[in-house]
Amino acid sequence: MHNLLRITKFPLRGFTLIELLVVIAIIGVLSAVVLTSLNSARSKGSDAAIKADLHNLQAQAELYYLGAGNYSYGTNASGCAAGMFADSVVAKQVAGAQSASGGTTAACYANGGSYLVGVKLASDATKWWCIDSTGAARQESGAFPASATYACP
């Protein structure tokens, strides 16, 4: 009977406070790494959406040109609502790029034979994506277009 009691009575063991704190710290470090990577991926995804919207805008601008015979006159850097940018399809592309950028203002300029659109990138506010009527589509850094220019710098 004494041996049977000894077999069923085993020492109760648990985790020490130090062991629990180490596990919690490891989980915290892993969470921080994952969240940092997630934010970077989200910004890159937004940049890709901006580029895609502006690429589609280039195609829509050419269709607009074929129909109207020009890109229409007008500049509106704050709202992109004048000239060809008042066209509903073109306006949707600009709005999509602005939304992906976090709602930043787009620069839109058009005259009869040329246009330029620029939207700041989500991953780096000092850089912006530029498209124009020559077919250029590239990242620019530095000064955002603030006056009527019709070609990417």
Q: Considering the chain, what is the average pLDDT of its residues?
A: 84
- Confidence at residue 49, expressed as pLDDT on a 0 to 100 scale: 95
Q: pLDDT tens-digit profile of 24-75?
A: 999 999 998 888 878 788 888 999 999 999 999 999 999 999 988 888 765 5
CB contact set of 142 (below 8 Å; sequence gap of 6+): 126, 153
Grade residue 127 by pLDDT with cuts at 50, 70 and 90. Answer: very high
Centroid of chain to Cα 85: 21
Q: Distance of CA 48 to CAs 88, 117, 131, Å?
A: 22, 16, 14
- Confidence at residue 128, expressed as pLDDT on a 0 to 100 scale: 92
What average pLDDT does this structure show over 86-102? 91
DSSP H helical ranges for the chain = 2-8, 17-68, 88-100
DSSP H helical ranges for 69-142 = 88-100
What average pLDDT does this structure show over 104-125? 87
pTM of the model: 0.74
Q: pLDDT tens-digit profile of 98-114?
A: 999 988 878 888 888 88
DSSP 106: P
